[in-house]
Amino acid sequence: MRSTAGLLAAIVCFCLLCSFETPPKVVNIVNFIRLLEPRDAAITQDVLYQTVVKQVVIMKKYRLGGTFLLQYDALMDSRYQNLLKALPRDSFEIGGWWEIPQPLVEKAGMKWRGRYPWDWRANIGFSTGYTPAEREKLIDVYMADFKKIFGYYPKTMGSWFIDAHSLNYMYTKYHIVASCNCKDQYGTDGYTLWGGYWNQAYYPSKNNSYMPAQHAEQQTPVPIFRMLGSDPVRQYDNSLGSSRQGVVTLEPVYKFGGGDSTWVNWFFDAFVADPSLGFNYTQAGQENSFTWSGMAKGFEMQMPLIAKLRDEHKLRVETMETSGKWFRSHYPVTPVTSFSVAKDIPDSDLKTVWFNSRYYRTNILWEKGTVRIRDIHIFNEKMPSVYEQTPVTENECTFFTLPFVDGYIWSRQNQLAGMRLYGMVDGKKVLLEGGTPVFKPSGVASLHISWPLKTVKGSVEMELTEKKMNVMVAGNGKLNWWLELTTAPGAKLPFEAIRAQQVECGFEGMKYNVQAEKGTFSKPADGAVLRIAAVNNIITLAF
């Protein structure tokens, strides 16, 4: 009996160890290719082609495979065909970049409406500008020509955004296994994707490609990977006060970001070393429109670093097709993931964590000794995209999820929105201050955050799980504390009714709510938007 019990105990321990193994860190090097660049006469077709040639040379030098995605006009160019056919299939993938140029539209039997042979406006250069039937014709033409050239259908189709109808059609008819879309951004290049699954990858709702599905039967089973490697600290509220965000990403063209060695080394240190759930992910590489002269410094600096980390077994470099198949084999529905930063770039003490599940996302930021829940957005597969049946007629597109805390849209430069932690100390309302937070996975789908307090005795203990956020103060049972949401004046808020145990919200025609399983909601009289008071020293929010 003792030996049997001992064996069972050993098996349980082994299973626990396996369940808490180090999450993989996955890098896709994705370079997408356009034939022409009408915005700058100096960027000729030859300049664009030579950019891809240089990318191939550098990647081969460091034995780095990757994914090249072809826009239709580049697909039909013999130089790109010959260059990419020569790449070894075991380490390089050729897929599709889903922007719509003139030759594709005309071959599908439609009239071109653009200003140039490639026009980047949302109603011209993207599938959102076409009816569902037209989208299918465009996909059929692309896929047929791709197969004529390469002998197979592409397994990856990427774009800044692909509508759900097109994505599902690509999956059901042509069996793609992976897709990618743009990072979260507000107004950049005329495209807004805001409030979504922040990084890594998710399964989209069948009627909204930007919205994670909650149930397997309502999802298109193609993981969408988030592109460009956003700065997890600074990208979110970059360019506050303007109509369009700036860009702080891993893209090698940017002087602060992917073109700066200090930033790149910091980014990859956090990427491989700081705690994460599920898996951590980033996309490296660059579109050829930025040209080799623009990206050379950053590209040549990043590739050997990625190769070094690969050789040290700190990350794995793979094609997006490989990542898509791995994701499908591991996750029947969208997983819980996180991306944390325990140490910022030099001369900054900011720390942050992004947490994603199929039900919600949140971002928490520590700054100057205080904590701010900067973002909470809720996911609902029933929320349709406005572009699913009706083409966009304007030159911009917007994709949203359901806000509960929005530290960007509800902020101004001199007043940052967010949910902060307060307590009553010596009879006064005080913003609680603390030390360095510690992030630690507490299960395969939960993250624990411990933040030691300085204002008073104790520590704040947070537990983020697939459906809930738990906050408590340990070691100080007498403290009266609460979370309080403030926003800039005039912010358009979704709150329709604030009740003790529930906040009822409305946004873009959707009704939704947030429950306080522990704690109580109220509308304070001192100008704050919302207060959540702890009950028995705990707050539990259910999303």
Identify the band that residue 111 occupies on the pLDDT scale cut at 50, 70 and 90: very high
> To which residue do tokens 């743009």 refer?
182
Locate 30 and state its tokens: 């994705």
Note whether 416 and 372 are within 8 A (CB): yes
The tens digit of pLDDT for each residue in 8-59 reads 444 334 344 344 568 999 999 999 999 999 999 999 999 999 999 999 999 9
Locate 403 and state its tokens: 């806000």
> To which residue do tokens 């050993």 refer?
10
Identify the band that residue 388 occupies on the pLDDT scale cut at 50, 70 and 90: confident
Identify the band that residue 414 occupies on the pLDDT scale cut at 50, 70 and 90: confident
- Number of helices (H), then strands (E), belonging to the chain: the values are 10, 31
Give percent of the chain with pLDDT exceeding 70. Answer: 96
- Model confidence at 264: pLDDT above 70: yes
Distance of CA 12 to the CA centre of its chain: 35
E strand map for 250-359: 280-284, 316-317, 337-341, 351-356
Q: Output the CA–CA distances (angstroms, integers) from residue 368 to 179, 411, 435, 436, 482, in the order listed.
A: 39, 18, 9, 11, 19
Helix (H, G, I), strand (E, B) or coil at 518: strand
**What is the predicted pLDDT for the residue at 20?**
53
Q: Which of 187-191, 226-230, 481-485 has the lowest mean pLDDT?
A: 187-191
The tens digit of pLDDT for each residue in 403-412 reads 999 999 999 9
Domains of the chain: 20-335 (3.20.20.510), 351-542 (2.70.98)
> To which residue do tokens 């896929």 refer?
143
Locate 170 and state its tokens: 């690509």
